[in-house]
Chains A and B, each alone.
Chain A
Protein backbone atom coordinates (compact mmCIF):
# COMPACT_ATOMS: atom_id res chain seq x y z
CA UNK A 1 0.00 0.00 0.00
CA UNK A 2 2.84 2.36 0.70
CA UNK A 3 4.86 1.38 -2.32
CA UNK A 4 4.56 4.03 -4.98
CA UNK A 5 2.99 6.77 -2.99
CA UNK A 6 5.90 9.11 -2.61
CA UNK A 7 4.86 11.18 -5.58
CA UNK A 8 4.46 14.94 -5.28
CA UNK A 9 6.52 14.95 -2.14
CA UNK A 10 3.86 13.10 -0.15
CA UNK A 11 4.51 9.88 1.64
CA UNK A 12 2.90 7.64 4.19
CA UNK A 13 6.25 7.09 5.81
CA UNK A 14 6.82 10.74 6.66
CA UNK A 15 3.49 12.03 7.90
CA UNK A 16 3.21 15.66 8.77
CA UNK A 17 2.29 17.02 12.15
CA UNK A 18 -1.29 17.65 11.11
CA UNK A 19 -1.69 14.04 10.06
CA UNK A 20 -0.28 12.73 13.33
CA UNK A 21 -2.61 14.92 15.35
CA UNK A 22 -5.50 13.92 13.12
CA UNK A 23 -4.84 10.23 13.66
CA UNK A 24 -4.45 10.62 17.43
CA UNK A 25 -7.65 12.64 17.79
CA UNK A 26 -9.34 10.17 15.46
CA UNK A 27 -8.36 7.30 17.73
CA UNK A 28 -9.80 9.20 20.68
CA UNK A 29 -13.02 9.83 18.74
CA UNK A 30 -13.32 6.19 17.79
CA UNK A 31 -12.69 5.04 21.35
CA UNK A 32 -15.27 7.43 22.73
CA UNK A 33 -17.77 6.33 20.08
CA UNK A 34 -17.18 2.68 20.93
CA UNK A 35 -17.71 3.42 24.61
CA UNK A 36 -20.88 5.33 23.70
CA UNK A 37 -22.41 2.31 22.03
CA UNK A 38 -21.11 -0.29 24.49
CA UNK A 39 -21.24 1.20 27.99
CA UNK A 40 -23.88 -0.12 30.35
CA UNK A 41 -24.41 3.14 32.18
CA UNK A 42 -26.79 5.21 30.14
CA UNK A 43 -25.72 8.62 31.36
CA UNK A 44 -22.08 7.74 30.71
CA UNK A 45 -23.04 6.98 27.12
CA UNK A 46 -24.24 10.56 26.70
CA UNK A 47 -21.04 11.89 28.27
CA UNK A 48 -18.86 9.74 26.00
CA UNK A 49 -20.89 11.13 23.11
CA UNK A 50 -19.70 14.57 24.20
CA UNK A 51 -16.09 13.39 23.90
CA UNK A 52 -16.68 11.90 20.46
CA UNK A 53 -18.44 14.98 19.09
CA UNK A 54 -15.88 17.33 20.60
CA UNK A 55 -13.09 15.33 19.04
CA UNK A 56 -14.86 15.62 15.72
CA UNK A 57 -14.88 19.40 16.16
CA UNK A 58 -11.09 19.24 16.54
CA UNK A 59 -10.94 17.18 13.34
CA UNK A 60 -12.91 19.88 11.54
CA UNK A 61 -10.44 22.46 12.80
CA UNK A 62 -7.57 20.34 11.50
CA UNK A 63 -9.31 20.19 8.13
CA UNK A 64 -9.45 24.03 8.15
CA UNK A 65 -13.24 24.07 8.42
CA UNK A 66 -13.32 26.36 11.40
CA UNK A 67 -16.88 27.61 11.05
CA UNK A 68 -18.20 24.04 10.90
CA UNK A 69 -16.13 23.22 13.97
CA UNK A 70 -17.71 25.96 16.04
CA UNK A 71 -21.17 25.14 14.76
CA UNK A 72 -20.49 21.56 15.82
CA UNK A 73 -19.49 22.72 19.28
CA UNK A 74 -22.52 24.98 19.59
CA UNK A 75 -25.21 22.70 18.26
CA UNK A 76 -24.00 19.21 19.09
CA UNK A 77 -22.22 19.77 22.36
CA UNK A 78 -24.47 22.59 23.39
CA UNK A 79 -27.93 21.47 22.52
CA UNK A 80 -28.12 17.92 21.18
CA UNK A 81 -26.32 16.32 24.11
CA UNK A 82 -28.37 18.36 26.55
CA UNK A 83 -31.52 17.19 24.75
CA UNK A 84 -30.32 13.60 24.96
CA UNK A 85 -29.64 13.96 28.68
CA UNK A 86 -33.12 15.41 29.14
CA UNK A 87 -34.53 12.48 27.22
CA UNK A 88 -32.65 10.02 29.40
CA UNK A 89 -33.93 11.65 32.55
CA UNK A 90 -37.50 12.09 31.39
CA UNK A 91 -37.70 8.43 30.43
CA UNK A 92 -36.47 7.53 33.92
CA UNK A 93 -33.28 5.88 32.72
CA UNK A 94 -31.49 4.03 35.50
CA UNK A 95 -28.48 5.90 36.83
CA UNK A 96 -26.28 2.94 37.67
CA UNK A 97 -25.25 -0.05 35.61
CA UNK A 98 -28.22 -1.46 33.73
CA UNK A 99 -27.79 -5.06 32.70
CA UNK A 100 -30.12 -4.93 29.71
CA UNK A 101 -28.70 -1.97 27.85
CA UNK A 102 -28.00 -4.17 24.85
CA UNK A 103 -30.71 -6.16 23.18
CA UNK A 104 -30.47 -9.82 22.31
CA UNK A 105 -29.32 -9.33 18.76
CA UNK A 106 -26.04 -7.66 19.63
CA UNK A 107 -23.94 -10.41 18.03
CA UNK A 108 -25.86 -10.06 14.77
CA UNK A 109 -25.36 -6.31 15.05
CA UNK A 110 -21.64 -6.83 15.66
CA UNK A 111 -21.41 -9.02 12.57
CA UNK A 112 -23.23 -6.49 10.43
CA UNK A 113 -21.10 -3.63 11.71
CA UNK A 114 -17.81 -5.46 11.22
CA UNK A 115 -18.80 -6.53 7.72
CA UNK A 116 -19.84 -2.99 6.82
CA UNK A 117 -16.63 -1.59 8.29
CA UNK A 118 -14.45 -4.06 6.37
CA UNK A 119 -16.26 -3.34 3.11
CA UNK A 120 -16.24 0.44 3.50
CA UNK A 121 -12.63 0.71 4.67
CA UNK A 122 -11.39 -1.54 1.89
CA UNK A 123 -13.34 0.43 -0.69
CA UNK A 124 -12.29 3.84 0.61
CA UNK A 125 -8.61 2.96 0.97
CA UNK A 126 -8.57 1.45 -2.48
CA UNK A 127 -10.31 4.44 -4.02
CA UNK A 128 -8.41 7.30 -2.40
CA UNK A 129 -4.97 5.95 -1.68
CA UNK A 130 -3.27 8.39 -4.01
CA UNK A 131 -5.24 11.46 -3.03
CA UNK A 132 -3.92 14.26 -0.90
CA UNK A 133 -5.68 17.28 0.49
CA UNK A 134 -3.99 20.62 0.12
CA UNK A 135 -4.54 22.23 3.48
CA UNK A 136 -2.63 25.39 2.72
CA UNK A 137 -5.56 27.50 1.58
CA UNK A 138 -7.98 28.03 4.42
CA UNK A 139 -11.42 28.27 2.88
CA UNK A 140 -13.61 27.33 5.80
CA UNK A 141 -13.81 30.72 7.45
CA UNK A 142 -17.07 32.30 8.51
CA UNK A 143 -16.71 34.86 5.75
CA UNK A 144 -16.37 32.27 2.98
CA UNK A 145 -19.14 30.12 4.39
CA UNK A 146 -21.49 33.05 4.84
CA UNK A 147 -20.96 34.45 1.37
CA UNK A 148 -21.54 31.10 -0.34
CA UNK A 149 -24.45 30.27 1.94
CA UNK A 150 -26.27 33.52 1.22
CA UNK A 151 -25.23 33.78 -2.39
CA UNK A 152 -25.83 30.29 -3.72
CA UNK A 153 -27.73 28.42 -1.04
CA UNK A 154 -30.36 30.94 0.03
CA UNK A 155 -33.41 28.95 -0.99
CA UNK A 156 -32.38 25.70 0.75
CA UNK A 157 -31.38 27.77 3.76
CA UNK A 158 -34.80 29.36 4.03
CA UNK A 159 -36.56 26.06 3.42
CA UNK A 160 -34.47 24.56 6.18
CA UNK A 161 -35.49 27.28 8.60
CA UNK A 162 -39.14 26.50 7.83
CA UNK A 163 -38.41 22.82 8.43
CA UNK A 164 -36.76 23.62 11.74
CA UNK A 165 -39.78 25.64 12.79
CA UNK A 166 -42.09 22.81 11.77
CA UNK A 167 -40.01 20.33 13.75
CA UNK A 168 -40.12 22.61 16.78
CA UNK A 169 -43.89 22.98 16.61
CA UNK A 170 -44.25 19.25 16.00
CA UNK A 171 -42.11 18.38 19.00
CA UNK A 172 -44.15 20.69 21.21
CA UNK A 173 -47.43 19.26 19.95
CA UNK A 174 -46.28 15.65 20.33
CA UNK A 175 -44.82 16.01 23.79
CA UNK A 176 -47.69 18.09 25.16
CA UNK A 177 -49.61 16.32 27.85
CA UNK A 178 -53.22 15.80 26.88
CA UNK A 179 -55.57 16.75 29.66
CA UNK A 180 -58.51 14.43 29.72
CA UNK A 181 -57.56 11.33 27.76
CA UNK A 182 -54.66 10.18 29.89
Chain B
Protein backbone atom coordinates (compact mmCIF):
# COMPACT_ATOMS: atom_id res chain seq x y z
CA UNK B 1 0.00 0.00 0.00
CA UNK B 2 1.13 3.49 -0.72
CA UNK B 3 2.14 5.41 2.40
CA UNK B 4 0.46 8.56 1.12
CA UNK B 5 -3.04 7.16 1.67
CA UNK B 6 -2.91 6.80 5.47
CA UNK B 7 -0.75 9.91 5.83
CA UNK B 8 -3.16 12.10 3.86
CA UNK B 9 -6.15 10.62 5.66
CA UNK B 10 -4.49 11.37 9.00
CA UNK B 11 -3.70 14.94 7.96
CA UNK B 12 -7.26 15.59 6.80
CA UNK B 13 -8.72 14.02 9.92
CA UNK B 14 -6.48 16.18 12.06
CA UNK B 15 -7.66 19.29 10.26
CA UNK B 16 -11.31 18.29 10.66
CA UNK B 17 -10.67 17.93 14.38
CA UNK B 18 -8.90 21.29 14.38
CA UNK B 19 -11.94 22.92 12.82
CA UNK B 20 -14.15 21.29 15.41
CA UNK B 21 -12.01 22.47 18.31
CA UNK B 22 -12.03 26.03 17.03
CA UNK B 23 -15.62 26.25 15.84
CA UNK B 24 -17.68 24.30 18.33
CA UNK B 25 -19.37 26.01 21.22
CA UNK B 26 -20.35 23.13 23.49
CA UNK B 27 -17.40 21.90 25.55
CA UNK B 28 -18.32 18.24 25.09
CA UNK B 29 -18.23 18.71 21.31
CA UNK B 30 -14.80 20.30 21.67
CA UNK B 31 -13.65 17.19 23.51
CA UNK B 32 -15.03 15.02 20.70
CA UNK B 33 -13.01 17.03 18.19
CA UNK B 34 -9.92 16.52 20.33
CA UNK B 35 -10.59 12.79 20.09
CA UNK B 36 -10.63 13.08 16.30
CA UNK B 37 -7.24 14.80 16.36
CA UNK B 38 -5.78 12.12 18.64
CA UNK B 39 -7.08 9.43 16.30
CA UNK B 40 -5.36 11.10 13.39
CA UNK B 41 -2.11 10.88 15.31
CA UNK B 42 -2.79 7.22 16.06
CA UNK B 43 -3.33 6.46 12.40
CA UNK B 44 -0.02 8.12 11.57
CA UNK B 45 1.77 6.10 14.25
CA UNK B 46 0.34 2.81 13.03
CA UNK B 47 1.07 3.55 9.36
CA UNK B 48 4.66 4.54 10.02
CA UNK B 49 5.19 1.56 12.29
CA UNK B 50 3.97 -0.77 9.56
CA UNK B 51 6.25 1.00 7.12
CA UNK B 52 9.42 1.07 9.24
CA UNK B 53 9.08 -2.32 10.99
CA UNK B 54 11.53 -1.56 13.74
CA UNK B 55 12.31 -4.18 16.33
CA UNK B 56 10.99 -2.12 19.21
CA UNK B 57 7.56 -1.86 17.59
CA UNK B 58 7.58 1.72 18.75
CA UNK B 59 4.66 2.91 16.66
CA UNK B 60 2.10 0.41 17.88
CA UNK B 61 3.28 0.57 21.48
CA UNK B 62 3.00 4.36 21.40
CA UNK B 63 -0.43 4.02 19.82
CA UNK B 64 -1.55 1.96 22.79
CA UNK B 65 -0.12 4.59 25.12
CA UNK B 66 -1.89 7.36 23.21
CA UNK B 67 -5.19 5.53 23.39
CA UNK B 68 -4.78 5.14 27.16
CA UNK B 69 -3.87 8.79 27.62
CA UNK B 70 -6.85 9.78 25.46
CA UNK B 71 -9.12 7.75 27.71
CA UNK B 72 -7.69 9.46 30.80
CA UNK B 73 -8.02 12.83 29.09
CA UNK B 74 -11.65 12.37 28.14
CA UNK B 75 -12.50 11.23 31.66
CA UNK B 76 -10.85 14.20 33.30
CA UNK B 77 -12.14 16.59 30.66
CA UNK B 78 -15.72 15.48 31.12
CA UNK B 79 -15.37 15.75 34.90
CA UNK B 80 -14.15 19.33 34.50
CA UNK B 81 -16.94 20.15 32.05
CA UNK B 82 -19.45 18.69 34.48
CA UNK B 83 -18.10 20.79 37.33
CA UNK B 84 -18.19 23.91 35.16
CA UNK B 85 -21.76 23.11 34.21
CA UNK B 86 -22.73 22.76 37.85
CA UNK B 87 -21.18 26.03 38.93
CA UNK B 88 -21.99 28.16 35.88
CA UNK B 89 -25.10 26.55 34.49
CA UNK B 90 -23.68 26.29 30.98
CA UNK B 91 -21.12 24.24 29.09
CA UNK B 92 -20.61 26.74 26.28
CA UNK B 93 -16.96 27.61 26.07
CA UNK B 94 -17.45 31.14 24.78
CA UNK B 95 -19.73 32.08 27.64
CA UNK B 96 -17.16 31.12 30.24
CA UNK B 97 -15.26 34.37 30.34
CA UNK B 98 -14.91 34.89 34.06
CA UNK B 99 -11.15 34.94 33.62
CA UNK B 100 -11.19 37.22 30.57
CA UNK B 101 -9.96 40.79 30.69
CA UNK B 102 -12.64 43.13 31.89
CA UNK B 103 -14.43 40.21 33.45
CA UNK B 104 -16.65 42.32 35.66
CA UNK B 105 -18.46 44.08 32.86
CA UNK B 106 -18.72 40.97 30.72
CA UNK B 107 -19.72 38.72 33.59
CA UNK B 108 -22.68 40.88 34.53
CA UNK B 109 -23.81 40.88 30.90
CA UNK B 110 -23.30 37.22 30.04
CA UNK B 111 -23.99 35.58 33.38
CA UNK B 112 -27.67 36.06 32.89
CA UNK B 113 -29.31 32.79 33.77
CA UNK B 114 -30.05 30.33 31.06
CA UNK B 115 -33.02 28.08 31.43
CA UNK B 116 -31.17 25.44 33.33
CA UNK B 117 -28.67 27.77 34.92
CA UNK B 118 -31.22 29.51 37.07
CA UNK B 119 -31.67 26.51 39.26
CA UNK B 120 -28.14 25.20 39.03
CA UNK B 121 -26.10 28.27 39.88
CA UNK B 122 -27.69 30.63 42.34
CA UNK B 123 -24.37 31.01 44.12
CA UNK B 124 -22.53 32.17 41.00
CA UNK B 125 -25.10 34.83 40.22
CA UNK B 126 -25.04 36.15 43.75
CA UNK B 127 -21.32 36.70 43.62
CA UNK B 128 -21.46 38.21 40.15
CA UNK B 129 -24.15 40.71 40.98
How far does the alpha carbon of A103 sit from the alpha carbon of B60 in the complex, in Å?
36
Known contacts A65-B46, A87-B28, A101-B29; is-contact A23 B12 (Cβ 8 Å)? no
Chain B positions 32-66 with a Cβ under 8 Å from a chain A Cβ: 32-33, 35-36, 39, 42-43, 46-47, 49-51, 53, 55-57, 60-61, 63-65
- What DSSP secondary structure best describes chain B's contact surface? helix
**Contact flag A63-B83 (CB < 8 Å), given A22-B1, A86-B78, A93-B28:** no
- CB neighbors of A among B68-96 (8 A): 68-76, 78-83, 85-87, 91-94
- With an 8 A cutoff between CB atoms, is B18 at the interface? yes
A87-102 contact mask (Cβ, 8 Å, vs B): 1 or 0: 1101111000000111
Residue pair B5, A68 in contact (C-beta under 8 Å): no
Are A67 and B60 in contact, with the CB atoms below 8 A?
yes
B6 contacts A by Cβ under 8 Å? yes
Chain A contact residues, CB within 8 Å of chain B: 10, 12, 15-16, 18-19, 22-23, 26, 29-30, 33-34, 36-37, 42, 45-46, 49, 52-53, 56, 59-60, 62-65, 67-68, 71-72, 75-76, 79-80, 83-84, 86-88, 90-93, 100-106, 108-110, 112-114, 116-117, 120-121, 124-125, 128-129, 131-135, 137, 139-140, 144-145, 148-149, 152-153, 156-157, 160, 163-164, 167-168, 170-172, 174-175, 177, 181-182
Q: Which 6 A-B pairs have the closest CB atoms?
A: A37-B20, A109-B22, A167-B72, A113-B19, A117-B15, A109-B23
